[in-house]
Chains A and B, each alone.
Chain A
Amino acid sequence: MLESIFAWETLTSALRMTTPLAFAALGGVYSERSGVVNIALEGIMLIGAFFAAVGTYFFGSPLVGILFSILAGMGLALIHAVVSIKFKVNQIVSGTALNMLAAGGTTFLSRLIFKAAGSSPHIKGFEPWSIPILSDIPGIGLVFKSLSPLIVFMFIIVILSQYILYNTVFGLRLRSVGENPQAADTLGVNVYKYRYIGVLISGALGGIGGAFLSLEHARVFVENMTGGRGFIALAAMIFGKWNPIGSFGACFLFGIAEAVRMRLEGIGIPTQFIQMIPYILTMLVLAGAVGKAMSPAADGIPYEKEEL
């Protein structure tokens, strides 16, 4: 049993579990760093998974599928942005409604477009890449022999996001509108604009995260296939302290837990308890038991420009 857990295949499957979470968690980082809580990530992932399947099915190319998922994710995110930035509606309420909309909407469209109840036809995913040099290393090389391009892309985005948020003017401004919008506004930063950008980026990344599920995990769209992964991504983002590399680390931890859970299935250990790990860890972090979690100070608070 232990051999089956401590195998390179576990690492491979952990990476595959990590990737959709990491895209969505990074999306969460951009949104919440700009000051907008985004529990609509679940719906964004779902709609991304669906439109990735639609694009790939009708155009025969997973690349088109990805493009579709980005646009769909941004579309849903735009509604969240308008509702919570312009109309200043409670962001949890907006997110809850959008999750309902995505769940109902994707099932509705899937039944209309694919006729068959419950799922899309089989779709083609990306050709896996074999990473030169790395795949020649004995042992761990196995992991790099057959890697989804999206996994490689995910690593690039994680590092790029860390750089953008902490080393560029854009990143500084994005963070400033989430920490202290009044001060940022006084200094001439357009609070609304940066919040819109933050939420839209989260839509694009969340959409790609969902696309990974339909294109690479299942090669088919199934109703409600996200199954709460958007919420796990949110948990990972908190566990990672609203920071790209930290969030990736948390996603990877959750990915390992998921991979181990799959390996334990059928052995008789109740997998439900492993399933709980990400959620319990998140609660411990929030309770301050695993270091203090500091959310952006103005996260979730609509910004009201002073009226003169």
Chain B
Amino acid sequence: MKNKENLVEILLNILSPIVSTLLALIFGGIIILLLGHNPIETYKEVISFALGNANGWGYVLFNATSFILVGLAVAIGFKGGLFNIGAEGQILVGGLASAISGVYIAPFFPAFLHLPIVFIFALLGGAFWAFIPGILKARLGAHEVINTIMMNWIGYALTNYLVINPFREKGVLYPLPQTAKLPESATLPKLAPFFQSIGINIPNSNPLNASLIVAILAVVFTYYLLWKSKLGYEIRALGSNPHASENAGINVKRIILVTMLISGAMAGLASINDVLGYRYRFLDNFSHGLGFTGIAVALLGRNHPVGIIFSGLLFGALDRMAIGMDIFTHIPREIISILQAVIILTIAIGNEILLRFLRRQRRKAMYA
């Protein structure tokens, strides 16, 4: 009986993101139709652009790398009952800390330490930016949602100031708002040569890089953290019932702070795909809303690491499709952002309807 119920729940959990995505695609199809285009032809064209060739897949995986890392960051917070809307700021601060450490600190150390240094600073930068709302929540009960939103804007202004003033690239005639280039020993290699060697023809221009491997390791780490460790047990206990977990002897304040720190560090890590693997420097506001998309990725992936792989891939593909819209059609690419918003709304509503349905079933079973 119990097993059967679990099976139904798992099935519904898998089904509802798929249904939401299909609904969003139908909604987008109606818009395309209203604009006088053939939705099926349009979808065919942009989907084959994104997924019909190795180069497209490289881009999808490249996009997915960042989405998965941010999605994990948000999901870790969610599991502990904390809504970390601050990933955007944590990515920026983590990314800048990482780039600065690579340019100004790493040269004092031997080359094999360069990567560890830039990684540690990415983690620390993100964690530091989450520490402030975390400690305010743990000590004073100040709501993390508002505080993380505020930290986003403060982080944006701070990194903007730092990259325009003290840490701006020097010796260039018209410098962009960006840091100097990282030494090669502090960057992550492209994956195209590897794929070419096994017969998959991803061109050298493709941005896919070793951050993908980091993202996969982060998925495994998150799974073990949340479901196989004592700390993870306490995080999940806090998330499902803060009062009960306090009564059970869990140090709630400590867990709130630790959860925020891990979530922030993971968001900081999400900067590497761009900073260490693509641009090899910090460019002002490079994240461009990545932290907010991460919320959608986490929700769609049901805050589960495996789910987040799929939602990260889906959002990665959608982003690539947006480029396809630009190249092949006269439909503005923002149609894809509209679809992403529709996916979040339908999945959130779907979740609620599902929960109510399951609750009613359970009540029925109780009286039967």
Chain A binding surface, main DSSP class = helix
Among A105, A111, A279, A287, the residue within 8 A (CB) of B153 is A279
A130 at the interface (CB under 8 A from B): no
**Residues of A261-308 whose CB lies within 8 A of B:** 270, 272-273, 275-276, 279-280, 282-283, 286-288, 295
Contacts of B146 in A (CB 8 A): 234-235, 238, 282, 286
Q: Is the CB of A286 within 8 A of B136?
A: yes
Among A96, A238, A273, A279, the residue within 8 A (CB) of B344 is A96
The answer for the CA separation of A104 and B318 in the assembled complex, in Å, is: 13
Residues A111 and B161 in contact in the complex (CB < 8 Å), given A90-B348, A101-B342, A287-B136:
no
Contacts of A234 in B (CB 8 A): 146, 149
Q: What are 8 A-B interface contacts by the 8 Å CB criterion?
A: A87-B348, A96-B85, A97-B348, A231-B149, A231-B150, A235-B150, A283-B132, A286-B143
B332 at the interface (CB under 8 A from A): yes
- Interface segment among B58-66, B102-110, B259-267, B333-341: the answer is B333-341
| Nearest B-chain residue to A37, judged by Cβ | B145
Contacts of B353 in A (CB 8 A): 87
Contacts of B147 in A (CB 8 A): 283, 286
Closest Cβ of chain A: how far from B363's Cβ, in Å? 10
The answer for the CA separation of A45 and B172 in the assembled complex, in Å, is: 39
The answer for the CA separation of A98 and B295 in the assembled complex, in Å, is: 13
Contacts of B151 in A (CB 8 A): 279, 283
B349 at the interface (CB under 8 A from A): yes
Residues A270 and B161 in contact in the complex (CB < 8 Å), given A238-B146, A287-B140, A287-B142:
yes
A99 at the interface (CB under 8 A from B): yes
Contacts of A94 in B (CB 8 A): 345, 348
Closest Cβ of chain B: how far from A26's Cβ, in Å? 18
As a 0/1 sequence over residues 179 to 212 of chain B, the CB contacts with chain A under 8 angstroms (1 = contact) are 0000000000000000000000000000000000
As a 0/1 sequence over residues 160 to 174 of chain B, the CB contacts with chain A under 8 angstroms (1 = contact) are 110001000000000
The answer for the CA separation of A107 and B348 in the assembled complex, in Å, is: 24
A108 at the interface (CB under 8 A from B): yes
Interface residues of B (CB under 8 A from A): 35, 83, 85, 132, 136, 140, 142-143, 145-147, 149-151, 153-154, 157-158, 160-161, 165, 292-293, 295-296, 299, 332, 334-338, 340-342, 344-345, 348-349, 351-353
Contacts of A89 in B (CB 8 A): 345, 348-349, 351-352
Interface residues of A (CB under 8 A from B): 37, 39, 79, 83, 87-90, 92-94, 96-101, 103-105, 107-108, 111-112, 228, 231-232, 234-235, 238, 270, 272-273, 275-276, 279-280, 282-283, 286-288, 295
Contacts of B335 in A (CB 8 A): 104, 108
Contacts of A275 in B (CB 8 A): 153, 157
Among A104, A228, A235, A286, the residue within 8 A (CB) of B340 is A104
Closest Cβ of chain B: how far from A279's Cβ, in Å? 4
Q: Is the CB of A279 within 8 A of B340?
A: no
Among B149, B153, B292, the residue within 8 A (CB) of A276 is B153
| Nearest B-chain residue to A89, judged by Cβ | B348
Q: Is the CB of B345 within 8 A of A111?
A: no
Q: Is the CB of B352 within 8 A of A87?
A: yes
Q: Is the CB of A88 within 8 A of B352?
A: yes
Given contacts A96-B344, A104-B337, A288-B142, 16 further A-B contacts (CB under 8 A): A87-B352, A96-B296, A98-B341, A100-B292, A100-B337, A105-B341, A108-B334, A112-B332, A231-B149, A231-B153, A276-B158, A279-B153, A279-B154, A283-B142, A287-B136, A287-B142
Q: Is the CB of B35 within 8 A of A87?
A: no
Which of B149, B158, B353 has the most chain A CB within a 10 Å cutoff? B149
The answer for the CA separation of A298 and B80 in the assembled complex, in Å, is: 22
Residues A83 and B157 in contact in the complex (CB < 8 Å), given A96-B85, A108-B332, A288-B140:
no
Contacts of A231 in B (CB 8 A): 149-150, 153
Q: Is the CB of B344 within 8 A of A100?
A: yes
Closest Cβ of chain A: how far from B17's Cβ, in Å? 14
Q: Is the CB of B154 within 8 A of A280?
A: yes
Q: Is the CB of B160 within 8 A of A272?
A: yes
| Nearest A-chain residue to B135, judged by Cβ | A287
Residues A112 and B35 in contact in the complex (CB < 8 Å), given A89-B352, A276-B158:
yes
Q: Is the CB of A282 within 8 A of B161?
A: no
Contacts of B143 in A (CB 8 A): 286, 295
The answer for the CA separation of A273 and B162 in the assembled complex, in Å, is: 11
The answer for the CA separation of A15 and B79 in the assembled complex, in Å, is: 44
Contacts of B136 in A (CB 8 A): 283, 286-287
Closest Cβ of chain B: how far from A158's Cβ, in Å? 22
Among B132, B140, B299, B340, the residue within 8 A (CB) of A93 is B299
Q: Is the CB of B332 within 8 A of A107?
A: yes
Contacts of A232 in B (CB 8 A): 153
The answer for the CA separation of A93 and B140 in the assembled complex, in Å, is: 24
Contacts of A99 in B (CB 8 A): 292
Q: Is the CB of B85 within 8 A of A83?
A: no
Closest Cβ of chain B: how far from A42's Cβ, in Å? 10
Contacts of B293 in A (CB 8 A): 100
| Nearest A-chain residue to B35, judged by Cβ | A112
The answer for the CA separation of A207 and B161 in the assembled complex, in Å, is: 31
Q: Is the CB of B83 within 8 A of A100?
A: no
Among B154, B165, B341, B345, the residue within 8 A (CB) of A104 is B341
Contacts of A105 in B (CB 8 A): 334, 337-338, 341
Contacts of B336 in A (CB 8 A): 104
| Nearest B-chain residue to A275, judged by Cβ | B157
Q: Is the CB of B348 within 8 A of A108?
A: no
Q: Is the CB of B341 within 8 A of A101?
A: yes
Contacts of A92 in B (CB 8 A): 83, 85, 145
Closest Cβ of chain B: how far from A286's Cβ, in Å? 4
The answer for the CA separation of A235 and B332 in the assembled complex, in Å, is: 33
Q: Is the CB of B149 within 8 A of A39?
A: yes
Closest 9 CB pairs of A and B: A104-B337, A101-B341, A272-B161, A97-B344, A108-B334, A111-B332, A279-B150, A100-B341, A272-B157
Contacts of B140 in A (CB 8 A): 287-288
